[in-house]
A = this chain, B = another copy of it.
Amino acid sequence: MSNAALMIGTISEIPAGNVHEAANSWLGIASYLIAAALFILSLKWLSHPRTARRGVRAGEIGMAVAIVGTLLIYQAVSYLWILVGVVVGSLIGAPMAVWMPMTAVPQRTALSHAFGALAAALVGTAHYFQLFGKESGIDHFTMAILALEVLLGCLTFTGSLVAFGKLQDLIPSSIKGLPHQNAINIGLLASAAGISVILTVSPGHAWLFLVLIVLGLAFGLCLVMPIGGADMPTVISLLNSYAGLSASLMGFVLNNYLLIIAGALDGSSGLILSIIMCRAMNRSFTNVLFGRMDASQTASADDVYGGKVKSASAEDVAMILDGVRRVVVVPGYGMAVSQAQHAVRDLFNMLEERGTEVEFAIHPVAGRMPGHMNVLLAEADIPYDKLKEMEEINPSFGQTDVAIVIGANDVVNPLANTDPKSPIAGMPILNVGEARTVVVVKRSLSPGFAGIPNPLFAAENTLMLFEDGKKAIVDVVAAMKEAA
């Protein structure tokens, strides 16, 4: 090793030790310290829209410093193959970034978790076989961590693929897993745990390692397959957390502190987001992962809607919107499905021009991932200070003339407050019913994800505009233009 002179301390008992010590050369310490600081700043700066893009820059530079530093430390490595890897990866990654429509962001996130987990699993496996059979073998402790790392990587890989498939509608949502799914899952987990213990005791059984990989892959499939499409965001966030943990564990194995830090940052981010989502839905982790939503106990649709639903045309809505003082738009999953955001923007412009105050009410779990609605509306050039969080806007519905609900359902369902037996009981909702008039744009009376009817649609002051989201808004705008 040409870098031996740079080293300042010995820390590894692993046979391939020399390689790992290099990360603790001056060069390694300096570049990894800088990269770690930049990653932290990156997340810090992301906290506010004003500094967020600086945060992305910091992350990019941090990554570049880390990679260049690593290449300089490990000069023994085959630069050719790394170059090949980087080129191929860029050729795949760049188009995915450039042409991915904003409505597909949830799928993209799932897919890239799969790639991240794949990388972790591959590297862990390579490291095992690299050490396996070497003079002093693998010590028990390292083996235990390595087994956990590869297991997490594998299950995150297949789990994320399933999540991707469900969100992209490649896997029908109706697939709910095998019979006795929970028993199978427990069986898989127990076998994986057992094999990990055996490997820890005698790390030499390479074939057991391969079995572990297979079990991990199968467990990921079985875990995510039965979960409904609308719960995917929570699952994706949890998988994000696992992927981070797996990177961190790899850092333990490889004596690489930057991996530990970046992995832990990633892991806590996934954890926090899934906690936020669960809290916004008033559900527990276990309920998301193993519970199935059960709509049997709530009132039937006929009871709720029977004869009480009033429907309206685009022209009616245009008339109602004429000359009002304040309008609040409530977007939901349907706006994303129908790609209505640009039409909404036209509506926003037209209302603002006429002196109407327009704001957007963003429920924390509207759509299919946290912040989903914000990204879509920002894409359509809505200024972000018009996007209000639930707590902020809820008190103002009383002073609102018209609330326009576009493709949202569960997040405006008053049953959450009134029916303790409903599956969304206790979930905080947007109180659109307090507005003078409520206009709901959706294609039918079919329920949202929770599968329950929505008394809002039958309320005294509600008008239904049954239409695809985008078409409805385009029509309303056209009708307003005509009337003017």
Contact = CB atoms under 8 A, between A and B. Distances in A.
Contacts of A8: 141
A11 B13 contact: no
A9 B11 contact: yes
Interface in A1-43: 8-11, 13
A141 B10 CA distance: 16
A295 B335 CA distance: 65
A218 to B, nearest CB: 34
The size bracket of the interface on A is under 10
Interface string A124-155: 00000000000000000100000000000000
A141 B26 CA distance: 13
Contacts of A13: 9
Interface in A262-309: none
Number of copies of this chain in the oligomer? 2
Contacts of A9: 11, 13
Contacts of A10: 10
A227 to B, nearest CB: 33
A8 B141 CA distance: 10
A269 to B, nearest CB: 18
Contacts of A141: 8
A9 B9 CA distance: 12
A467 to B, nearest CB: 47
A141 B8 CA distance: 10
A11 B13 CA distance: 11
A256 to B, nearest CB: 16
Nearest to A10: B10
Nearest to A8: B141
A248 to B, nearest CB: 15
A8 to B, nearest CB: 8
A141 B141 CA distance: 32
A417 B299 CA distance: 66
A283 to B, nearest CB: 26
A343 to B, nearest CB: 40
Nearest to A13: B9
A64 B151 CA distance: 38
A10 B9 CA distance: 10
A243 to B, nearest CB: 24
A453 to B, nearest CB: 41
A11 B12 CA distance: 10
Contacts of A11: 9, 11
A9 B141 CA distance: 12
A15 to B, nearest CB: 16
A292 to B, nearest CB: 37
A13 B11 CA distance: 11
Interface in A372-420: none
A200 to B, nearest CB: 15
A261 to B, nearest CB: 15
A11 B10 CA distance: 7
A367 B8 CA distance: 50
A344 to B, nearest CB: 35
Interface string A298-327: 000000000000000000000000000000
A11 B9 CA distance: 7
Nearest to A141: B8
A23 to B, nearest CB: 15
Nearest to A12: B9
A10 B10 CA distance: 8
A245 to B, nearest CB: 17
A8 B8 CA distance: 19
A141 B9 CA distance: 12
A279 to B, nearest CB: 19
A8 B13 CA distance: 10
Interface of A: 8-11, 13, 141
5 contacts: A8-B141, A9-B11, A9-B13, A10-B10, A11-B11
- The 5 tightest CB contacts between A and B, nearest first, are A11-B11, A9-B11, A9-B13, A10-B10, A8-B141
